[in-house]
Amino acid sequence: MVDLPSCALSVRQPWAWAIVAGHKKIENRSAGSIRAGGMTCRRIAIHAASGLKQDEYDWGAWRLARHGLDCPRPDQLVRGAIIGAVDVVDIVSESDSEWFGGQMGLVLDHAAMCDPIPAKGALGYFTWERAASFAPVSRWMREWGGGPSSLFDDLPLDWRNPPRKPFGG
């Protein structure tokens, strides 16, 4: 049984999955979002945000693959849901971690997955409530990488060229 606190943080996929799976040890945020969002060290639920664009997924999957991690296909990543919990054990402005890449970082520990619970997200820390449904799977997600009937689904992705980093970065 996963301890699900009422306080949550919304994170876009595939990063939300990487956090609750125990792989991503720092969640990057701006100093302003940490301050405005009331972020402190405590146990929080991880909410998988509803939005996900193909360029975000491609870049995230590439970044995770660089660290030997195969994230689930985009149509297998639940969105619009609480998917686990993690302890925020520190808030840093510098780190040697491979996951640090922002102004500030929430240092994460004791990650745990749970059965997804539909919930709406919000900015910063928020008190989550159960919602009626998960975010729907988009057409591009179902068709990503050749679709579910591809003969080559069991082969690893070949990222000879990194995809473009979303958000102009």
Note the pLDDT tens digit of each residue in 93-113: 999 999 998 799 999 999 999
pLDDT band at 167 (very low <50, low <70, confident <90, very high): low
Asked whether the beta carbons of 83 and 20 are under 8 A apart, the reply is yes
Q: What are 11's two structure tokens? A: 């994170």
Q: What is the DSSP letter of 124?
A: S
Cα angle vertex 79, ends 44, 159, to 5°?
105
pLDDT, position 112 = 97
- Would you state the pLDDT for residue 160? 61
pTM, two decimals, is 0.87
Alpha carbon distance 97, 101 (integer Å)? 9
pLDDT digits over 130-139, tens only?
999 999 999 9
Q: State how far the Cα of 103 lies from the Cα of 166, in Å rounded to an integer.
A: 17
Give the Cβ contact number of residue 85 at 10 Å. Answer: 22
Rounded Cα distance between 66 and 157, Å, is: 11
